[in-house]
Amino acid sequence: MSAGSVRALLGLGSNLGDRDANIRRAVALLTAREDVDLVTLSEIVTTEPVGGPPQDDFRNGAALVETTLDAHALLTALLATERDVGRRRDGPRWGPRVVDVDLLLFGDAVLDDPDLTVPHPRMAERRFVLGPAAEVAPDMRHPTLGRTVRELLEALS
């Protein structure tokens, strides 16, 4: 990737249809773009849903990407990718979904506006996020907590 690229950590999840295929398709669509390169993809693991209505288990993973997009443009690309894989946003909040692609960290950026909050506000509390994230970016630092992804995961143990 060219100069000016940023490493971004993405959280991935699915609990409808072929969950693993949904996640892999989202990663493939996203990284088929010229402005997003896959650095590494975690193992995809089964996790129980947290919050929301009763629903099936999730498959979750994480991806580390390099991008020349800014954070808002990357979010737009993530939302388009979710739509392309088949996600609809007309169900209950935290309900079942074909695919979910969350922007967890964007370099050392700290953003808090109506459309985007980075770092992801709940990532440090969620083992289903931090487990896969620690596999692909253990030394990536949470810019407001000052701890690495690995340290955040260990703090949950």
Query: Which residues are tagged catalytic?
Result: 87, 97, 100, 102
Residue 4: burial class (beta carbons within 10 Å; 0-12, 13-18, 19+): exposed
Q: From CA 137, how far away is CA 40, in angstroms rounded?
A: 9
The residue type of 132 is P
Q: Which residues are CB-contacts of 80 (< 8 A; sequence separation ≥ 6)? A: none
The residue type of 2 is S
Q: Residue 141 carries which DSSP code?
A: B
Q: Residue 123 carries which DSSP code?
A: G
Q: Angle of helix 127-136 relative to helix 149-156, nearest 10 degrees?
A: 140
Chain centroid to Cα 155, Å, comes to 20
